[in-house]
């Protein structure tokens, strides 16, 4: 009986750690992808971007929040819609995507 409890506990911990690690990898991938897009495609510099933070949500599944240096109190929300094409979700002005992806 004790072995079963230990095995179940170990499996549960491994599942939790696996889910956490998978989410962190997804967040890092999204943040890096959006950063690369904003810098290389949209023409922003690294100094224009204060922070980029991906989160888990219900809709969209993984929104990415960006703060820009010229508007540090506003979070702009982006998604790649699982297709590597970035879209700004919120209707805030100004639209931050300049290349027709918004």
Q: What is the pLDDT of residues 62-81, one digit of tens each?
A: 999 999 998 898 899 999 87
**Cα separation, 33 vs 35, whole angstroms:** 5
Q: Are 77 and 52 in contact (CB under 8 A)?
A: no
Tally of structural domains, the chain:
1
The predicted structure's pLDDT at residue 93: 67
Q: What is the mean pLDDT of the chain?
A: 88
Burial zone of 96 (CB within 10 Å; 0-12 exposed, 13-18 middle, 19+ buried): buried
Helices vs strands, H then E, count in the chain: 1, 4
Residue 89 has pLDDT above 90, yes or no: no
- How sure is the predictor about 102, in pLDDT bands with cuts at 50, 70 and 90? very low
Q: Is residue 14 part of a domain?
A: yes
Question: Of 41, 47, 102, nearest to 70 (Cα)?
Answer: 47
Q: Is residue 44 part of a domain?
A: yes
pLDDT tens column, 38-56: 999 899 999 999 999 999 9
Question: Does residue 93 lie within any of the structural domains?
Answer: no
94 domain residue, yes or no:
no
């Amino acid at each position: 009986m004790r072995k079963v409890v230990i095995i179940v506990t170990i499996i549960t911990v491994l599942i939790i750690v696996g889910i956490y690690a998978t989410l962190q990898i997804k967040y890092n991938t999204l943040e890096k992808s959006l950063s690369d897009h904003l810098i290389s495609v949209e023409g922003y510099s690294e100094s224009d971007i204060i922070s980029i933070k991906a989160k888990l949500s219900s809709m969209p599944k993984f929104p990415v929040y960006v703060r820009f240096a010229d508007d540090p109190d506003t979070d702009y929300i982006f998604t790649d819609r699982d297709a590597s094409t970035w879209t700004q979700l919120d209707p805030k002005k100004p639209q931050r995507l300049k290349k027709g992806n918004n």
